[in-house]
Amino acid sequence: MAYPIHRPRRLRRSAVLREMVRETTLAPSDFIYPLFVVEGRDIRRPIGSMPGISNLSVEHAVAEAKQAHALGVPAVLLFGIPHHKDAQGSQAYAREGIVQRAIREIKNALPDMLVIADVCLCEYTDHGHCGIIEGGHVANDATLPLLSRMAVTCAQAGADIIAPSDMLDGRVASIRSALDEVKLTEVPILSYAVKYASAFYGPFREAAQSTPQFGDRRTHQMDPGNVREALKETDLDLEEGADMIMVKPALSYLDVIHRVRERVDVPVVAYNVSAEYSMVKAAAQNGWIDGDRLMLEILTSIKRAGSDLIITYHALEAAKLLG
């Protein structure tokens, strides 16, 4: 056997050397931390299927945001769970709604932290669907004005970024027009452009209390087998005025993240969703894996696939390890 000329192991001999030549690196600034905000005072209600994550009243959400900010995490993504739900999701666009109040309080406490408002009706409707129901189905066009009203009230409350997650056709254009009409032209839109109808959302639906009371969301969320459709959705949302593109979920869709990254020249965000988080936590609690190591490996894989930013429930613990 000829003497090996190329010895890749030379660059793996020490931790310092490996770190110096590492191609993909993680930093706290890569993360966006989701928060579930509920009505009431002094509420920190653990979510059974998401160890370490809780439903939070506004003052506790502010405290969590402060912790994230201190660790170098630049942004939070807010989901609101109101006391009252109705068929129109009216609390989603109420000026004194739970998410609007949370936005104001976090921005008052942390002016430099970016607050992203998730825009969808599913947490606010009594039927759990993402829009108005007509004839047993989500009425796409009738829902768009309500999503736009929610976007405007969230932006007026101080949201730095609007993130529509409903996957209804035309909602980016509708929201962009509504924001521009009230002179909020500088508020960017992070579109959930590529959002699959996934079984990985189960724990989130417990956290957000948004499980559909009938049917499912497969008529508007994407089929997991499709990639070309993801690129079409991406193109359409950019044409309608989206400033950033999201792929959700992340871990089982790394190939989609990569394809979208190659397609566009805007920031790409991936959502490391609830079941991806909970599987790591459950396996770690059972002693089957090294939870911290696997967490960082998963987050690295998401960034390596092409994501510029990662929405993740691991944000605080990952930031502490990377600090």
Residues belonging to the binding site are: 120, 122, 130, 205, 217, 233, 274, 313
Nearest to 114 by CA among 76, 78, 152, 151: 76
What is the tally of helices (H) and strands (E) in the chain? 11, 12
What are the C-alpha distances in Å from 298 to residues 27, 271, 305? 14, 12, 11
Q: Is 248 a catalytic residue?
A: yes
Residue matched to tokens 């606010």: 124
In the annotated binding site for Mg(2+), the residues are 233
Give the pairing of strands 268-272 and 161-164: unpaired
Estimate the crossing angle of helix 98-109 against helix 58-70, to 10 degrees: 40
The token pair at 272 is 């490391």
Contact between residue 140 and residue 131 where contact means Cβ atoms under 8 Å apart:
yes
Exposed, middle or buried by CB within 10 Å (0-12, 13-18, 19+), for 139? middle
| Active-site residue, from 248, 281, 303, 320 | 248
292, 295, 300, 306: CA torsion to nearest 10: -160
163 forms bridges with which residues in the sheet? 118
In the annotated binding site for Zn(2+), the residues are 120, 122, 130
| Active-site residue, from 85, 195, 281, 303 | 195
Nearest to 72 by CA among 28, 27, 17: 28
Say which amino acid occupies 15. Answer: A
What are the C-alpha distances in Å from 304 to residues 25, 32, 262, 298, 309? 8, 17, 13, 10, 11
In the annotated binding site for 5-aminolevulinate, the residues are 205, 217, 274, 313
Cα 221 to Cα 236: distance, rounded to the nearest angstrom = 15
Active site residue ranges: 195, 248
